[in-house]
Amino acid sequence: MQKDQPGAIMEFGSDLQNQVLEQAQRLWDIALSWLVSPAAWSQFALLVVAYLLALVVAGKLRAPLTRLLTPPEDLDSPLAKTRRFVLIFVPLLLPLMAYAFTGIGESVTRSLFGSGAVIAFGKRVFLFLAVRILVREIIADPMMKLLGRYILIPVAALYALGLLEPAMAKLDETIVPLGNLSFSLLFALRFIVVGGAIFWLGRWSNDQSAQFLKKQDDMRPAMRELTAKAIEIGIFGVAFLLVMNIMGINLTSLAVLGGAIGVGLGFGLQKIASNFISGLILLLEGQATVGDYVELDGGEAGTIVKMGARAAILETFDGRWIVVPNEDFITTRVVNFSDSGSANRYEAPFSVSYDTDINTVPDIIEAAVAKHPRVLSEPFPPDCELRGFGDSGVDFAVEFWIEGIDDGANKFSSDVLFLIWNALKEHNIEIPYPRRVVELSGSIETRQA
């Protein structure tokens, strides 16, 4: 009869504890035998000599290696990146040199005495120290550091003590049932380590590909985003298949389960699927991409700074980020101020007094606005139009075209209004202000005290 999962784990813990105690007693007996063995003492001496030699050699090599592997700060070539990558492994120089010299000493002692257990133990200890330095000082990725701290270091410690093979055998014997499926604890640990390493490598490869594509200025932004997404899907798809293949999982056995999950996802995650497909359509059509300034029907407006699988992120001019589902770009009206070029038309309204010769105003204002360095003459030059006769003055507006958006760092309307004000003042044209005429009917009586 198959044991339940908690019972199997408790039995595994008890058996492992007994196994550790037995191995500890065996190691203690071995240590006592080493104390009275001349061959063991000679191996201890060789171990110390190997460590001291590694200490001297590593000390001599560390400084020149660091200088050789350190590129100039402003250099960003592939060779410079490779040198920086190799540089981070310099702290491993001492334990690896000690491991190499100890290996040479082990071959010598085995040839002379026919035994090298002590020096072999020292070699495994140096390897454990190298693994410990790798996890604590070199690995920076949080996920890989977590795997190294709780899996790689314990495995290295068990290997140093000679307990790795018994522990692996016990893990392989311990079967954990999960419904109709069952797996050993060793399989679970291997799956975690192999899967974590492969998906970390996939994420690193995806980041490198994304950085490379960002530098390709000849590609349209939409094509860069689409290529990056295709590479990301391809990398993680291959990573999944590799994990399944390495772990010996038959993909055909997952077909039925995948079909059931697909039906459930189809009903429960319709919005996510819709947003994902909408994102692909946006990338294919290129109607809105990273860097475009857009305004949606719902009032959201900003520059697209990122387009993800589910949503796009708009950055407003006041620094806020708005997360907009990709579906909104397909199903609602979107105004793209950056599509088909970045030239946009704006207007600046103003009024002049009724005493002004309004026939001279358009030429004066158009000439003044055209002096602005960012105002375009194509597709149309500045155009001053009469808009109406107001209560206090004659209403005009000047239309002008500029490259970019009239907001944020660029305040074109403000600059144009300054030009209009100075031009009107220069030609003694009065800008009116509201005036009211009050008529009183009847006589005003004064009251005397």
- Residue 303 sits in a domain whose CATH number is 2.30.30.60
Asked if residue 51 and residue 23 are part of one domain, the reply reads yes
pLDDT tens for 393-442 read 889 998 888 877 766 566 788 888 899 899 888 888 888 877 777 777 76
* Mean pLDDT to the nearest integer, 162-190: 73
81 lies in a domain? yes
| Residue 410: predicted pLDDT | 63
Comparison of pLDDT for 215 and 356, the residue scoring more: 356
Asked if residue 326 and residue 367 are part of one domain, the reply reads no
Asked if residue 16 and residue 92 are part of one domain, the reply reads yes
59 lies in a domain? yes
- What length is written for the chain? 449
CB 224, CB 283: distance < 8 Å: no
Q: List, in sequence order, every residue forming a beta bridge with 181; answer none if it has no partner.
A: 178
Asked if residue 369 and residue 294 are part of one domain, the reply reads no
The model's pTM: 0.48
Asked if residue 105 and residue 39 are part of one domain, the reply reads yes
Asked if residue 164 and residue 43 are part of one domain, the reply reads yes
Phi and psi, residue 219, nearest 5°: -85, 145
Confidence of residue 258 (pLDDT cuts 50, 70, 90): low
Residues 361 and 33: their CA atoms lie apart, in Å, by 110
Asked if residue 324 and residue 402 are part of one domain, the reply reads no
pLDDT tens for 295-308 read 887 777 887 877 77
Closest CA to 374 of 410, 417, 338, 348: 410
pLDDT tens for 358-394 read 888 888 888 888 888 888 888 888 888 888 888 888 8
| Residue 1: predicted pLDDT | 38
- The residue among 117, 146, 173 that closes a domain is 173
Q: List, in sequence order, every residue forming a beta bridge with 302; answer none if it has no partner.
A: 294
Asked if residue 146 and residue 58 are part of one domain, the reply reads yes
The token pair that represents 284 in the structure block: 């294919």
351 lies in a domain? yes
433 lies in a domain? no
- The residue among 319, 336, 353 that closes a domain is 336
Number of helices (H) and strands (E) in the chain: give both, helices first. Answer: 15, 10
In Å, how far are 105, 228, 241 from 210, measured between CA atoms? Answer: 48, 6, 22
Identify the domain containing residue 33 by its residue range: 10-173
* Mean pLDDT to the nearest integer, 322-330: 81
The 3-state DSSP class for residue 4 equals: coil
Task: Kindly report which listed range (27-31, 52-56, 353-357) carries the lowest average pLDDT score.
Answer: 27-31
Residue 5 has pLDDT above 60, yes or no: no
Residue 116 has pLDDT above 80, yes or no: no
Residue 96 has pLDDT above 80, yes or no: yes
Number of domains in the chain: 3
- Residue 231: how many CB atoms within 10 A of its CB? 17
Asked if residue 25 and residue 168 are part of one domain, the reply reads yes
Residue 259 has pLDDT above 70, yes or no: no
Q: What percent of the chain has pLDDT over 90?
A: 0
- The residue among 141, 173, 205 that closes a domain is 173
Alpha helices for 114-141 (secondary structure H): 117-133
Confidence of residue 3 (pLDDT cuts 50, 70, 90): very low
Q: List, in sequence order, every residue forming a beta bridge with 307; answer none if it has no partner.
A: 312
| Residue 357: predicted pLDDT | 86
pLDDT tens for 66-86 read 888 888 877 777 777 788 888
Residues 361 and 352: their CA atoms lie apart, in Å, by 9
Asked if residue 355 and residue 396 are part of one domain, the reply reads yes
pLDDT tens for 128-175 read 888 888 888 888 877 778 878 888 888 888 888 777 777 777 777 777
- Residue 169: how many CB atoms within 10 A of its CB? 12
180 lies in a domain? no
Residues 375 and 364: their CA atoms lie apart, in Å, by 16
25 lies in a domain? yes
CATH at 409: 3.30.70.100
In Å, how far are 222, 224, 309 from 283, measured between CA atoms? Answer: 5, 9, 10
Instruction: Tell me the CB-side half-sphere exposure of residue 283, using CA atoms within 13 A.
Output: 22
Asked if residue 356 and residue 317 are part of one domain, the reply reads no
- Residue 73: how many CB atoms within 10 A of its CB? 7
| Residue 34: predicted pLDDT | 55
35 lies in a domain? yes
Exposure class string for 336-370: b at 16+ Cβ within 10 A, else e:
ebbeeeeebeeebebbbeeebeeeebbebbbebbe
Exposure class string for 99-131: b at 16+ Cβ within 10 A, else e:
bbbbbebbeebeeeeeebbbbbbbbbbbbbbbb
Comparison of pLDDT for 109 and 67, the residue scoring more: 67
Asked if residue 160 and residue 29 are part of one domain, the reply reads yes
195 lies in a domain? no
